[in-house]
């Protein structure tokens, strides 16, 4: 079995496994299930999990399953997650959020949470309530006392998430990412589509989502992913919006090839489901290649790189997806600058420049053979893009 892959979580100094656990499917299950799932995941190197559920029982089961190995698991614990009025509820009231966060620490039998996640910021009201209210104040206090190691936030709305990232307070964003959601216009609530057939669209890839991922990369804010499989609907012939269902490795690979993404967090309720998710690590490039499914939407993606690397091999071993990704991010950074300063590539965030330079081969190594362009299902002008990358980064 292949080794786990780890990615740095932005500027936090922590590194997370590319496949992690969502805790939701452990809710309502006995301790033995939590123990089996967490044990199977950690045996294969999983070191990050999300825990937003407010109930004491599921929190205690997870705490018990982590006994003796708490320090080997990075926990995303949510601030503002309560069950005051319904099963999963939000509160922005200091007394309630403190009560539920302290119960999280107690149930897990720990004195710290790695990522204190400001929970469910999807609307303007959520943003104002959290960022101008007690929740942020509480998170900052927890960070200052060392009770949380980093502040994060969760959202499903790219426009609000962008504001969250622009606040320069959060170091981690949990966001819903899959190929169907990425084509949904920012103003719709993607969660509505989990109750019926998924989005059926003839629209363009949503620019607000693409801009959000690039902003995160520019600001070195890491992204962890929820809804990677669209609640399983992308795997279903009946519910998928594509001509055919995607597979688990394809969905995981799609999310992991978005800028700034460090880890996909998958809800599992058995050892088998954990192993199915971790099969991603053993999948070869052909198995992970999602372009075979989404290229039915060539019109949607035409000319835009989706970072799938279907165009490889390159004779000079350029990682074309990565070069395109960093060039896109750099270009987006420059677009945010005034017209007279756009030509100054000094405006590219240093982290993006460093990541680009760390690639083994660069845009300037392209010999314009054109073989990638014949293989790209999305008609991306790769040669032109390589030249653009070379100009932007100077190599």
Q: What's the closest the beta carbon of residue 129 comes to ligand SF4, in angstroms? A: 40
Q: What's the closest the beta carbon of residue 295 comes to ligand SF4, in angstroms? A: 9
d(CA 362, CA 341): 24
Q: What's the closest the beta carbon of residue 194 comes to ligand SF4, in angstroms? A: 27
Q: Which is nearer to ligand SF4, 58 or 389 (CB)?
A: 389
Q: Which is nearer to ligand SF4, 101 or 254 (CB)?
A: 254
Q: Which is nearer to ligand SF4, 344 or 371 (CB)?
A: 371
Nearest to 311 by CA among 366, 262, 376: 376
Q: What is the contact surface with ligand SF4 in residues (CB under 6 A)?
A: 291, 305-311, 314-316, 318, 320-321, 324, 366-372, 376, 378, 380, 382-383, 386
d(CA 211, CA 163): 12
Q: What's the closest the beta carbon of residue 228 comes to ligand SF4, in angstroms? A: 19
Q: Which is nearer to ligand SF4, 129 or 289 (CB)?
A: 289
3-state secondary structure of 121: coil
Nearest to 41 by CA among 287, 229, 283, 263: 263
Q: Which is nearer to ligand SF4, 70 or 361 (CB)?
A: 361
Residue 349 main-chain phi, psi, to 5 deg: -55, 135
Q: Which is nearer to ligand SF4, 76 or 324 (CB)?
A: 324
Q: What's the closest the beta carbon of residue 8 comes to ligand SF4, in angstroms? A: 23
Triad 61, 65, 66: Cα angle to 5°: 120
Q: Is the CB of residue 35 less than 8 Å from the CB of residue 51? A: no
Q: What's the closest the beta carbon of residue 193 comes to ligand SF4, in angstroms? A: 25
Q: Kindly state the tokens that stand for 310.
A: 């279907």
Q: What's the closest the beta carbon of residue 184 comes to ligand SF4, in angstroms? A: 20
Strand ranges, E, within the chain? 6-8, 15-17, 19-22, 48-51, 74-79, 81-82, 89-90, 113-118, 148-155, 172-176, 222-226, 261-267
3-state secondary structure of 45: coil
Q: Which is nearer to ligand SF4, 299 or 350 (CB)?
A: 299
């Amino acid at each position: 079995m292949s080794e786990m892959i780890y990615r740095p979580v932005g500027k936090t100094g922590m590194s997370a496994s590319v496949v992690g656990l969502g805790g939701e499917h452990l809710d309502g299950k006995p301790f033995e299930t939590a123990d089996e799932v967490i044990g199977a995941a950690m045996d294969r190197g999983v070191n990050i999990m999300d825990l937003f559920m407010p109930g004491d029982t599921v929190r205690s089961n997870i705490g018990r399953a982590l006994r003796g190995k708490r320090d080997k698991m990075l926990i995303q614990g949510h601030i503002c997650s309560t069950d005051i009025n319904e099963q999963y509820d939000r509160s922005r009231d200091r007394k309630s959020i403190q009560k539920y966060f302290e119960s999280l620490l107690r149930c897990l039998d720990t004195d710290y949470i790695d990522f204190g996640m400001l929970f469910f910021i999807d609307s303007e009201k959520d943003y104002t309530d959290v960022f101008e209210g007690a929740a942020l104040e509480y998170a900052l206090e927890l960070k200052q006392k060392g009770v949380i190691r980093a502040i994060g936030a969760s959202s499903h709305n790219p426009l609000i998430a962008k504001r969250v990232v622009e606040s320069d307070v959060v170091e981690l964003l949990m966001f819903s990412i899959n190929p169907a959601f990425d084509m949904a216009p920012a103003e719709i609530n993607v969660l509505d589509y989990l109750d019926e057939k998924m989005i059926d669209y003839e629209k363009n890839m949503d620019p607000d989502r693409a801009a959000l991922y690039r902003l995160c990369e520019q600001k070195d804010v890491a992204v962890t992913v929820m809804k990677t499989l669209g609640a399983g609907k992308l795997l279903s012939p009946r519910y998928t919006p594509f001509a055919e269902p995607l597979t688990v490795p394809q969905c995981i690979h799609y999310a992991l090839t978005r800028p700034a993404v460090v880890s996909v967090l998958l809800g599992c309720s058995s050892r088998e489901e954990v192993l199915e998710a971790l099969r991603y690590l053993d999948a070869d490039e052909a198995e992970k290649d999602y372009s075979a499914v989404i290229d039915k939407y060539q019109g949607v993606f035409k000319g835009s790189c989706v970072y799938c690397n279907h165009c490889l091999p390159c004779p000079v071993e350029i990682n074309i997806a990565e070069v395109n990704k960093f060039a896109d991010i750099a270009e987006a950074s420059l677009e945010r600058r005034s017209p007279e300063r756009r030509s100054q590539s000094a405006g590219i965030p240093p982290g993006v420049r460093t990541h680009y330079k760390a690639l083994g081969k660069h845009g300037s190594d392209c010999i314009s053979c054109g073989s990638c362009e014949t293989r790209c299902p999305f008609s991306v002008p790769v040669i032109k893009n390589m030249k653009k990358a070379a100009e932007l980064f100077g190599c």
